[in-house]
Amino acid sequence: MSQVDDGVNDDGLSGDDDGLSGDDGSLDDDGGLGGGRTRRTALIISAVIAVLAVGFVWMLGTSESSTDREAQSPLLGKVAPALSGTTLDGESFDIDDHRGEWVVVNVFATWCRPCVQEHPELRAFDEAHREEGDATLVSVLFDDRPSTARRYFENNGGDWPVVVDGEGRIATDYGVSGVPETYLVAPDGRVAAKLIGGVTADGLDRVIAEASGSGSGGSGVGGSEGGES
């Protein structure tokens, strides 16, 4: 049989512009194989990043952590964002109704291990200051089901308001990046401190005492007569 040499190379593939081109097997502009491979690679990378992000948030919420760690926040010294809504008991809560006293805003979830660990400390703080009437504790339910949170409180005790943040508006306004996070709001309505990784009753009392004595860095926090400057 005579050798055919009309455009067929040694591999038996046509070398014209309509065939495969390049060592990587990508097609020309009409084939689109190279573009498809690029899109698949981009999707895979996006999926990996998403999984890593979810895993990081889960790790923050389930890992062991130290307590009473103060953290920076752009809210420090500023009037606290609005915090109002319906509680697990079906009541209404509005942080503005508590001007003149300290408000401890605790963002938590029942699936968060440090949240579970700090719960007895929050209960002790609430019981002590409920009698004194100088501080109010309010929790904000983060990425969790109200029915689960109700059972959680039935099993672990606690009688303070828990605001359901179903759309995540409160968490967004406060800049929550993980749970637990706790914000201390002074009697004048300004944010005096942010604590991450769990709290203790003594730690909360200490931070309140320090903020009261220092005026929260000169922003007027700590007096019984609140108000914006």
Q: Do 148 and 103 belong together in one domain?
A: yes
Check whether residue 176 and residue 158 sit in a common domain: yes
Both 48 and 105 in one domain: the answer is no
Considering the domain boundaries, does residue 229 fall inside one? no
What pLDDT shows up at residue 130?
93
Q: Are 78 and 25 contained in the same domain? A: no
Same-domain pairing of 74 and 55: no
Residues 90 and 31 reside in one and the same domain: no
| Cβ proximity of 174 and 195 under 8 Å | no
Is residue 146 domain-resident? yes
- One domain, residues 54 and 118: no
The total number of structural domains that make up the chain:
2
pLDDT digits (tens, 9 = 90+) for 104-145: 999 999 999 999 999 999 999 999 999 899 999 999 999 999
With cut-offs at 50, 70 and 90, classify the pLDDT of residue 166: very high
The more confident residue out of 24 and 162 is 162
Residue 6: pLDDT over 70: no
Other beta carbons less than 10 A from residue 178's beta carbon: 20
pLDDT band at 34 (very low <50, low <70, confident <90, very high): low
Determine the pLDDT at residue 15.
Answer: 43
| Angle value at C-alpha 144, between 201 and 52, nearest 5 degrees | 100
152 in the same domain as 73: yes
50 and 81 co-located in one domain:
no
Q: Are residues 54 and 86 in the same domain?
A: no
Whether residue 3 has pLDDT greater than 80:
no
The larger pLDDT score, comparing residue 22 to residue 150, is at 150
Structural domain of 142: 69-218
> Alpha-carbon distance 164 to 49, whole Å?
29
* Lowest-confidence pick of 41-55, 87-101, 210-224: 210-224
3-state SS of the chain is: CCCCCCCECCCCCECCCCCCCCCCCCCCCCCCHHHHHHHHHHHHHHHHHHHHHHHHHHHHHHCCCCCCEECCCCCECCECCCCEEEECCCCEEEHHHHCCCEEEEEEECCCCHHHHHHHHHHHHHHHHHHHHCCEEEEEEECCCCHHHHHHHHHHHCCCCCEEECCCCHHHHHHCCCCCCEEEEECCCCEEEEEEECCCCHHHHHHHHHHHHHHHHHHCCCCCCCCCCC
pTM (two decimals):
0.67
Residues 119 and 205 placed together within one structural domain of the fold: yes
pLDDT-based confidence at residue 67 (cuts at 50, 70, 90)? confident
Same domain, 91 and 137: yes
Which CATH number is 188's domain given?
3.40.30.10
Report residue 12's pLDDT band, with 50, 70 and 90 as the boundaries. very low
pLDDT at 213 over 90: no
